[in-house]
Amino acid sequence: MTRAVHAKVSGRVQGVFFRAGAQREAQRLGLAGWVKNTPEGGVEVHAEGEWPALKRFLDWLRVGPPNAHVKNVEWEAGEATGAFTEFSVRA
């Protein structure tokens, strides 16, 4: 069953290739959705896929790429919309 996760990541997550890293990891895990920077300096993510892959993606979000310093990840699970066929970086 396809599920969805919507997450907000805070810390030093902009300017450290967090979005590109999240896109690579999501694609590796076979997830669809998007990632974008927020005006508050964080990153927002919506991912859809199988629950085991989503859990691994959440684990990655808690660490991020090498130069990131993640302080917090707030997330909620829900039903997938099925509206996404790939994982993209939004401006």
Query: What is the total count of domains within the chain?
Result: 1
Only one residue has tokens 């684990």, namely: 59
Cut 0.85: pTM above it? yes
Residue 37 designated active-site = yes
Does residue 52 sit within a domain? yes
Does residue 88 sit within a domain? no
Could you give the count of Cα atoms lying within 13 Å of 83 in the half-sphere of its Cβ?
Answer: 8
Does residue 31 sit within a domain? yes
Q: Which of 19, 24, 62, 90 is catalytic?
A: 19
Residue 67 designated active-site = no
Does residue 91 sit within a domain? no
Does residue 23 sit within a domain? yes
Question: Quick check: 62 and 13 in contact, CB under 8 A?
Answer: no
28-49 tens-digit pLDDT: 999 999 999 999 999 999 999 9
pLDDT, residue 91, reads 85
Q: Which of 24, 37, 62, 72 is catalytic?
A: 37
Domain that includes residue 28, residue range: 2-81
The domain that holds 32 is classified in CATH as 3.30.70.100
